[in-house]
Structure 1
């Protein structure tokens, strides 16, 4: 990248960061371009060089995150010789690592934007089903419910962790998610109560 491209990328990043900080605190309808530019240290004209409106900023952030997420899941699928399953630790690790490595933006979007949440689930489902032959499934409808259950559980736990201000370490949380995914919720609860 040349100097102009680097400067442009930094400006966009500052505008996106300012938007995310405001979006944490209020609905998108209540955010103004002036608030974003003031927080980022730019003027309104600079904002409009890069974005047509506030929704364009949100879409830009979402598209970047979804593309990164989809690439990582596809790389996992392509690198897996055997069928990938919802219980795969690699699969769960990608979701938890992605959440953790993008914790400034991802948790906010997952809790405030149902379309983003649904896109994340859709990408994960496609990755999980990618290597499966339709004849592999006894009942495709049931498989979809199982995958939805697993994805919703992992995402729900990650959202709760963010809401509780990350009260346990990410490593401990990941281990708990993997344990519940492997042995089931009831077994995990029983082990914790009796352990």
Structure 2
């Protein structure tokens, strides 16, 4: 990476961080490009070199935040996939308490960004996120569980959309219920379907 590319990415990171701080203070509808630039210490023209709209910045900020989430989880994709291929079949849960708790804590601590993303699913690009998750995480689990290939996308749509519906309801209440309670509800739903 040359010096200009490095500067470009550092500036983008500054705007991501500024945006994430602003979204903790107010709803997306009330955030202006001027406020983002002031908080990031960049010119308005710099913003438009990087993004066309604030929704573009929201989308990038979610990717930026997801990178931080992977750091928070302390896990690399390859290690996770290797564990899926080597662990006992009884350990293959699509939603494990260990990861679910960390995910819910992360959602709660970044709830304003998630609330705004849920209001704008096209910006969040959920379909792309699900496809990646499906390919890298769920497909190996479903293969090991010998779920027929033609049934996999339906099964995963059920799990993912169901979990996201619960999280969306939780966000609507400003995450008032405890992480443990939401985790218990999700596990009840997942366990109930798995045992039938």
Contact 2:105–2:179 at 8 Å: present in 1 too? no
1:67-98 per-residue CA deviation (whole Å, 9 max, x = no partner) reads 45577572433334236442544454454344
Per-residue deviation at 1:147?
A: 1.3
- State how far apart, in whole Å, the 2-side matches of 1:49 and 1:35 are: 14
Unaligned runs of 5+ in 2: 1-6
The answer to whether 1:129 aligns with 2:133 is no
- State how far apart, in whole Å, the 2-side matches of 1:135 and 1:153 are: 21
The answer to whether 1:144 aligns with 2:149 is no
Per-residue deviation at 1:119?
A: 2.7
Query: What aligned pairs does 1:31-70 form with structure 2 within 5 A after superposition?
Result: 32-37=32-37, 40=39, 42=41, 44-45=43-44, 47-48=46-47, 51-53=50-52, 54-68=54-68
Partner of 1:107: 115
Per-residue deviation at 1:129?
A: 0.8
Contact 1:16–1:61 at 8 Å: present in 2 too? yes
Contact 1:15–1:47 at 8 Å: present in 2 too? no
1:102-134 per-residue CA deviation (whole Å, 9 max, x = no partner) reads 323233213312352223322321211135549
The answer to whether 1:180 aligns with 2:180 is no
1:41-78 per-residue CA deviation (whole Å, 9 max, x = no partner) reads 85644853983443442232132234455775724333
- State how far apart, in whole Å, the 2-side matches of 1:109 and 1:73 are: 25
Unaligned runs of 5+ in 1: 188-195
- State how far apart, in whole Å, the 1-side matches of 2:144 and 2:193 are: 26
Instruction: Please give the TM-score of this superposition, normalised by the length of structure 2.
Output: 0.65
Distance 1:49 1:148, change over 3 A: closer
- State how far apart, in whole Å, the 2-side matches of 1:33 and 1:136 are: 50
Instruction: Please give the TM-score of this superposition, normalised by the length of structure 1.
Output: 0.65
Query: What aligned pairs does 1:75-86 form with structure 2 within 5 A after superposition?
Result: 75-80=79-84, 81-82=86-87, 84-86=92-94
- State how far apart, in whole Å, the 2-side matches of 1:172 and 1:158 are: 12
CA RMSD across the alignment = 3.9
Contact 2:69–2:106 at 8 Å: present in 1 too? yes
Contact 1:125–1:147 at 8 Å: present in 2 too? yes
Contact 1:161–1:167 at 8 Å: present in 2 too? yes
1:153-180 per-residue CA deviation (whole Å, 9 max, x = no partner) reads 1111011011022231122111221122
